[in-house]
Each structure stands twice: as C-alpha cells, then as structure tokens.
Amino acid sequence: MSALGPIDRVLLRDVALTRIREAIVVGDLAPGAVVKDAQLATRLGLSVAPVRAALARLADEGLVEAKPQSHTRVTPLVPAQVRDAAVVVRAMHEVAAREAAALVDDDDLAAMRRANADFAAAVDAGDLEAALAADDRLHGVLLARCGNAAVLATVERYTATIRRLERQRFGAPGHPSVELHDRLIAACAAHDVDGAVVTTTEIWTALLSELEETTDGTV
C-alpha cells in the first residue's frame, strides 16, 4: 500500500508530514525527485495548505530542499551526511540509556523483550519493515522512560535521514543484533547504567561501521 493514499482530515498538517516523510524514507518519493504541493495534496486527498506546511517542516529536517522560483525536490542521499546524523542519534540514545536504565520497571522490560522477540522473528523472515518497527519499539522504551524532550526531538529529527540509507543499503537490518538487544535488556534489568550505555554505543557503532563504507558520493 502506498504511503501517499488518501487520509482522514484530522490534524492535517501532522498527518501529511508523517505520510510524506514515510514516502521519502521508503523510496516512494525517490532521492532527487521533484515534488509539487498540488500533486501531493491530490494524492493525499488534502488541500494544498497542510501539504505546504508539511514540506516546510521536511525542509527543516533536511529531507526536502526548495529552490526559490524553481522547484522543491527530495534531498539526494549523501552518505557522509547520513553518517553525521547517525553520530548525533547515537549520542541521544546514549543519553536515553544513561537516564532511563535505572528507572525501567517490569512493564518496560517486558515490552523490550517482546520487541526483541519480534525483531528476531522479523530478521529470520527477512521482513525489513517488521524488523525496523520492532527495533524502534525496543529503543522507544528507553527514549520514553528518560523523559528528555530534547533527546526525543533530536532522535525524531534525524532518524528518517538514517533510515533512508538503511533501506537502500541493507536487505535486512543486521544492526543492532538480537544478542546486543539481549545485553541491553539485561543491563536495564540489573539497573546497570554503565552497561546499558556501553551496549547502546556498540549497537550504534555497528551501524556507523556500515555507513563508513558508503561515505563517498550521493545516492
């Protein structure tokens, strides 16, 4: 199902933002593609105003770029910029682990274990979408528990940029691994803050090692 199907008229700007961002991340709107607000509005079943507002936000996020009196296009993928975004997101996840590891409760741990089981099953099945969703749920527990609005906003700001290259480069997500997730969960269960931070760093360093191999040129 295309991410650009018609949507209900509820929180139009925010929903348009989510849909267009998703279309960019999954490649329905390819890097370098020219986007026209009127055409997007028609595809989404919206007026032009919320689509324009969404595109302005996506420009702030670096996913689209506008040239005055010319056109708006999806930003080309520059692997070096993706790597830089991953460094920032890694730091934010380290902060979340440091602030949340001593605070997680039994419900949090259960949610992380369920997410990792789903992640493992998705990896085994080669289901990229399900694996990414499960990975987001697992790390989302710590992001939510840390309660740091700046961390959450920064992760949201840059994750879509990283996800574009993940989808293009990797047939199935190999980072973070199920074993690293298990170690992270065990550290949180023990309220081992240092262990949780170290494991989080390992998870993101594994991804960065892949990105380091793709830092030349654009996609």
Summarize pLDDT for 137-190 with one digit per residue, the tens. Answer: 999 999 999 999 999 999 988 888 888 877 755 544 444 589 999 999 999 999
CA dist., res. 133 & res. 128, Å (int): 9
* Domains along the chain with CATH numbers: 12-74 (1.10.10.10), 79-214 (1.20.120.530)
Using CB atoms within 10 Å of the CB of residue 47, give its burial: 0 to 12 exposed, 13 to 18 middle, 19+ buried: middle
Instruction: Specify the length of the chain in residues.
Output: 219
Cβ atoms of 20 and 40 within 8 Å: the answer is yes
Q: How confident is the model at residue 196 (pLDDT cuts 50, 70, 90)?
A: very high
Summarize pLDDT for 32-47 with one digit per residue, the tens. Answer: 999 999 999 999 999 9
Extract the tokens encoding 138. Answer: 């697992």
Extract the tokens encoding 43. Answer: 């595809």
Quote the pLDDT of residue 175. Answer: 45
The owner of tokens 């993706």 is 82
**Angle separating helix axes 128-146 and 79-100, nearest 10 degrees:** 50
Quote the pLDDT of residue 23. Answer: 93
Residue 100, pLDDT above cutoff 90? yes
Q: How many other β-carbons are positioned within 10 Å of the β-carbon of residue 98? A: 16
Quote the pLDDT of residue 6. Answer: 64
Give me the residues paired with residue 204 across strands.
Answer: none
- Three-state DSSP state, 65: strand
